[in-house]
Amino acid sequence: MIVSEKMYELGSKRSAIRELFEYGKKRAAEIGTENVYDFSLGNPTVPAPECVNETIRELTKELDSVHLHGYTSAQGDLETRQAVADYLNKTYQTAFKADNFYMTMGAAASLSLCFKALTTDSEDEFITIAPFFPEYQVFVQAAGAKLTIVPPDTKNFQIDFDALEARLNIHTKGVIINSPNNPSGAVYSEQTIQKLAELLTKKSKEFGTHIFIITDEPYREIVYDGVEVPYVTKYYNDTLVCYSYSKSLSLPGERIGFVLVPDEAYESREVYAAICGAGRALGYVCAPSLFQKMLVKCIGNTGDVNLYKKNRDLLYQGLTELGYECFKPDGAFYMFVKALEDDADAFCEKAKEEDLLLVSATDFGCPGFVRISYCVDEAMIQRSFKAFEKLKARY
Which residues, numbered 328-387, are part of the site for a second copy (CB under 8 A)? none
**Residues binding a second copy: what is the number (CB under 8 A)?**
80
Q: Which is nearer to a second copy, 95 or 285 (CB)?
A: 285
Q: Which is nearer to a second copy, 273 or 322 (CB)?
A: 273
Residues forming beta bridges with residue 370, ordered by sequence position:
337, 360
Q: How far apart are CA 346 and CA 350, in angstroms?
A: 6
Closest CA to 373 of 353, 111, 384, 187: 384
Q: 100, 112, 239, 373: which one contacts a second copy (CB under 8 A)?
A: 112
3-state secondary structure at position 2: coil
Q: Least CB distance from residue 55 to a second copy, whole Å?
A: 9
254-273 residues in contact with a second copy (CB under 8 A) are 254-255, 266-267, 270-273
Helix axis angle, 378-393 to 305-321, nearest 10°: 20
Q: What region does 197 belong to: left with phi over 0, alpha with psi -120 to 50, or beta?
A: alpha
Interface with a second copy includes 128 (CB under 8 A)? no
Q: How far apart are CA 198 and CA 175, in angstroms?
A: 13
Q: What region does 110 belong to: left with phi over 0, alpha with psi -120 to 50, or beta?
A: alpha
Interface with a second copy includes 279 (CB under 8 A)? yes
Q: Which is nearer to a second copy, 288 or 318 (CB)?
A: 288
Q: Least CB distance from residue 371 to a second copy, whole Å?
A: 17
208-247 residues in contact with a second copy (CB under 8 A) are 210
Q: Least CB distance from residue 321 to a second copy, whole Å?
A: 30
Q: How large is the C-alpha radius of gyration of the chain?
A: 21
Q: Are strands 239-244 and 257-260 parallel, antiparallel or unpaired?
A: antiparallel
In terms of DSSP H, where are the helices of the chain? 5-12, 16-31, 50-62, 65-68, 78-92, 107-118, 135-142, 161-167, 190-207, 268-281, 289-298, 305-321, 344-353, 378-393
Stretch binding a second copy (CB under 8 A), from 104-112, 307-315, 354-362, 379-387: 104-112
Stretch binding a second copy (CB under 8 A), from 177-185, 192-200, 252-260, 342-350: 252-260
**Backbone φ and ψ of 6, nearest 5°:** -60, -45
Q: Least CB distance from residue 139 to a second copy, whole Å?
A: 6
Q: 27, 69, 146, 383: which one contacts a second copy (CB under 8 A)?
A: 69
Is the CB of residue 179 less than 8 Å from the CB of residue 218?
Answer: no
Q: Least CB distance from residue 204 to a second copy, whole Å?
A: 11
Q: 240, 278, 351, 357: which one contacts a second copy (CB under 8 A)?
A: 278
Q: Which is nearer to a second copy, 112 or 189 (CB)?
A: 112
Q: Least CB distance from residue 199 to a second copy, whole Å?
A: 19
Stretch binding a second copy (CB under 8 A), from 9-17, 162-170, 194-202, 339-347: 9-17
Stretch binding a second copy (CB under 8 A), from 24-32, 57-65, 147-155, 181-189: 57-65
Residue 75 CB: number of other CB atoms within 10 A? 22
Interface with a second copy includes 28 (CB under 8 A)? no
Contacts (Cβ under 8 Å, ≥6 apart) of 348: 339, 358, 359, 360, 370
Interface with a second copy includes 200 (CB under 8 A)? no
Number of residues that make up the chain: 395
Interface with a second copy includes 57 (CB under 8 A)? yes
129-158 residues in contact with a second copy (CB under 8 A) are 135, 138-139, 141-142
Q: How far apart are CA 106 and CA 81, in angstroms?
A: 15
Q: Least CB distance from residue 192 to a second copy, whole Å?
A: 25
Q: Least CB distance from residue 105 to a second copy, whole Å?
A: 6
